[in-house]
């Protein structure tokens, strides 16, 4: 069962990506989530190296939908970056992770006319319950019911669910490489569309000038950014590989490892950079997060096990 270890390694790398995203966004090394989303989208240019390995033309209608899926994905990660910048990564990621399968199932009911069984409905209910439970701010003296990044986390989950649903429908009808390239065109369009917002355009264009005379800190931040995206890319590939040789259900359920890794890393790094990672260390908050992760994990098992 080596694929379980491969899946574990995948979620470890993805968790490291989230932690480094948090570091760059909350330490002001990247001044705004729009800048971060722009460069994340621009990196999709590397998809062009796969042209000789399976690229081919597709019908215009499907091309437009592929572009749309890529654009939606960019705004999903933009919302995710806003959420990560505002709050604890150990809260944001499980909420997004719980929202995606819930929205995906409602999409399947609406578009594919699928019927959910009792187990699936129970799983959806547990995902909602776990997501809400981890979202509540139970710390003493808290001035709000939900954590600061709750709304952008929900929005990120909704947008990413739409994008992933479209991606999956493409993969079922075409080769992986071709779908990947066409959707990356959409990701590029999504990144460029961020320039339509005057405020974001000023920030993004201003950041481009840093490449002409980069400071030592900018060079370090750039290196961390590239490393972060490489970690996420390798993690995603390992996850897909583990899925292809092992159990789809178990690999999907192991996403709880990602939440646990993020929680542990966040707690450890809070002692080093408390202003950046912001993890609350009270016993109540720790118990809350662990119990919520357990509930979400059971929900993922029930939902994915009966697809």
Residue 301 has pLDDT above 70, yes or no: yes
Q: Give the whole-angstrom CA distance, residue 108 versus residue 292.
A: 26
Percentage of the chain modeled with pLDDT above 90: 23
User: Which has the minimum average pLDDT: 28-42, 87-101, 122-136, 269-283?
Assistant: 269-283
Residue 228 has pLDDT above 70, yes or no: yes
CA 118 to chain centre: 28
Structure token digits, residue 201: 């355009």
Q: Is residue 44 part of a domain?
A: yes
Length of the chain: 307
Q: Give the whole-angstrom CA distance, residue 156 versus residue 74.
A: 10
* Exposure string for 217-254, b = 16+ CB within 10 A, e = fewer: eeeebbebbeebbebbeebeebbeebbeebbebbbbbb
Residue 177 has pLDDT above 80, yes or no: yes
Q: Could you give the dihedral angle defined by the CA atoms of residues 178, 180, 181 and 187, in that order, rounded to the nearest 10 degrees?
A: 150
Structure token digits, residue 215: 């400071």
Query: What's residue 307's pLDDT?
Result: 45
pLDDT tens digits, residue range 25-60? Answer: 887 778 799 999 999 998 888 888 888 888 999 999
Structure token digits, residue 21: 């995203």
pLDDT tens digits, residue range 54-86? Answer: 899 999 999 999 999 999 999 999 999 999 988
Q: Is residue 194 part of a domain?
A: yes
Q: Give the number of other CB atoms < 10 A from CB of residue 213.
A: 7
Residue 183 has pLDDT above 70, yes or no: yes
Q: Which domain holds residue 208?
A: 33-217+247-304
Query: What's residue 306's pLDDT?
Result: 46
Q: Where are the beta strands (DSSP E) in 52-121?
A: none
| Residue entry with tokens 């481009």 | 208
Query: What's residue 86's pLDDT?
Result: 85
Query: What's residue 39's pLDDT?
Result: 92
pLDDT category of residue 213 using cuts at 50, 70 and 90? low
Q: Give the whole-angstrom CA distance, residue 253 versus residue 293.
A: 11
Q: Which comes out higher in pLDDT, residue 307 or 48?
A: 48
pTM, full prediction? 0.84
Looking at the structure of the chain, the number of domains it has is: 1
Residue 173 has pLDDT above 90, yes or no: no
Query: What's residue 247's pLDDT?
Result: 65
Q: Is residue 39 part of a domain?
A: yes
pLDDT tens digits, residue range 242-261? Answer: 766 776 556 666 777 888 88
Q: Is residue 228 part of a domain?
A: no
Q: Is residue 16 part of a domain?
A: no
Q: Is residue 239 part of a domain?
A: no
| Whole-Å CA distances, 134 to 23, 72, 224, 266 | 21, 26, 29, 15
Q: Which comes out higher in pLDDT, residue 106 or 228?
A: 228
Q: What is the mean pLDDT of the chain?
A: 82
Q: Is residue 88 part of a domain?
A: yes
Q: What is the mean pLDDT of residues 189-212?
A: 87
Percentage of the chain modeled with pLDDT above 70: 85
Structure token digits, residue 125: 């209910």
Q: Is residue 223 part of a domain?
A: no
């Amino acid at each position: 069962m080596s694929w379980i270890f491969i899946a574990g390694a995948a979620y470890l790398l993805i968790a490291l990506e989230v932690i480094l995203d948090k570091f760059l966004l909350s330490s002001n090394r990247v001044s705004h989530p729009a800048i971060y989303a722009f460069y994340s989208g621009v990196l999709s240019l590397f998809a062009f190296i796969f042209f000789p390995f399976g690229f081919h033309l597709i019908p215009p209608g499907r091309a437009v939908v592929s572009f749309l899926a890529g654009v939606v994905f960019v705004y999903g990660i933009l919302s995710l970056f806003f959420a990560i910048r505002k709050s604890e990564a150990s809260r944001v990621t499980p909420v997004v992770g719980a929202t995606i399968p819930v929205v995906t199932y409602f999409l399947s009911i609406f578009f594919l006319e699928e019927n959910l069984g009792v187990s699936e409905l129970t799983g959806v209910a547990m995902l909602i319950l776990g997501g809400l439970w981890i979202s509540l701010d139970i710390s003493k003296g808290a001035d709000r019911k939900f954590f600061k990044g709750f709304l952008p986390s929900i929005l990120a989950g909704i947008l990413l669910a739409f994008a992933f649903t479209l991606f999956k429908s493409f993969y079922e009808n075409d080769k992986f490489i071709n779908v990947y390239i066409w959707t990356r065109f959409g990701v590029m369009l999504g990144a460029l569309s961020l320039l339509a917002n005057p405020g974001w355009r000023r920030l993004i264009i201003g950041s481009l000038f840093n490449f002409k005379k980069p400071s030592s800190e900018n060079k370090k931040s750039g290196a961390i950014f590239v490393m972060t995206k490489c970690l996420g890319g390798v993690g995603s590939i390992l996850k897909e590989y583990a899925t292809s040789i092992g159990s789809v259900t178990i690999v999907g359920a192991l996403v709880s490892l990602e939440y646990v890794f993020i929680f542990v890393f966040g707690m450890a790094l809070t002692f080093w950079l408390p202003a950046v990672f912001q993890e609350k260390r009270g016993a109540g908050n720790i118990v809350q997060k662990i119990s919520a992760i357990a509930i979400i994990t059971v929900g993922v098992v029930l939902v994915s096990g009966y697809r």
